Amino acid sequence: MPAPSLNLQPNFHEEGKRYFRAFTPGDDFYEALIETHRDLSDEQSAIVNAKLVLLLSNHIGDLAVLKEAMAIARKDAT
């Protein structure tokens, strides 16, 4: 079995939901993400984002995948 690598293809979906338009699952996610920050101050949002990264990182677990994501996220930042 090849080592799992970071999935960079569209991958959003929801159990039991049928999509007729390709853009819908990604838009569902994006709205939920922005909604998570509704009415928060910038400082509160930064904490929420940090917690989100930690939660999702633990869910993924595989450090090879996480390091790949970290490298892409950091690219062009400096």
Partner 1 sequence: MLSTYQYPRYDYVLPPELSGAAPKRYPVVVVGAGPVGLAAAIDLAQSGVPVVVLDDDNTVSVGSRGVCYAKRTLEVLDRLGLGQACVDKGVSWNVGRTFLQEEEVYHFNLLPQADHQRPGMINLQQYYLEEYEIRRARELPNIDLRFCSKVTSVEPQGDGAVVQVEMPDGSYTLQTDWLIVADGARSSIRRMMNLEIDGKVFQDRFLIADVVMKADFPLERWFWFDPPFHRGQSVLLHRQADHVYRIDFQLGWQADPEEEKKPENVIPRIRAMLGDDRPFELEWVSVYTFQCRRMNDFAHGRVLFVGDAAHQVSPFGARGANSGIQDTDNLCWKLKLVIEGRAPASLLDSYAAERECAADENILNSTRSTDFITPKSKTSLVFRNAVLDLARDHAFARALVNSGRLSVPTILTESALNTPDAETFAGDMVPGAPLDDAPVRANGQDSWLLRQLGGRFAVLVIANAALDAAATDALHQLAQHPLAPEVVLVTAPGVTHTTPWRVLEDSAGRVAERLDARHGTCYLLRPDQHVAARMRHADAKRLLNALARATANPEVEAR
3-class SS shares of the chain: helix, strand, coil, % to 5: 55, 0, 45
Nearer residue to partner 1 within complex by CB, 3 or 21: 21
Residues that bind partner 1 (CB under 8 A): 7-11, 20-23, 26-27, 29-31, 33-34, 37, 40, 42, 45-46, 49, 72, 76
Dihedral sign for Cα 9, 13, 41, 51, please. negative
Dihedral sign for Cα 10, 14, 44, 37, please. positive
Nearer residue to partner 1 within complex by CB, 19 or 54: 19
- What one-letter code names the amino acid at 22? A
Give least dist CB 45 to partner 1, A: 4
Give least dist CB 14 to partner 1, A: 15
Nearer residue to partner 1 within complex by CB, 52 or 54: 52
DSSP 40: -
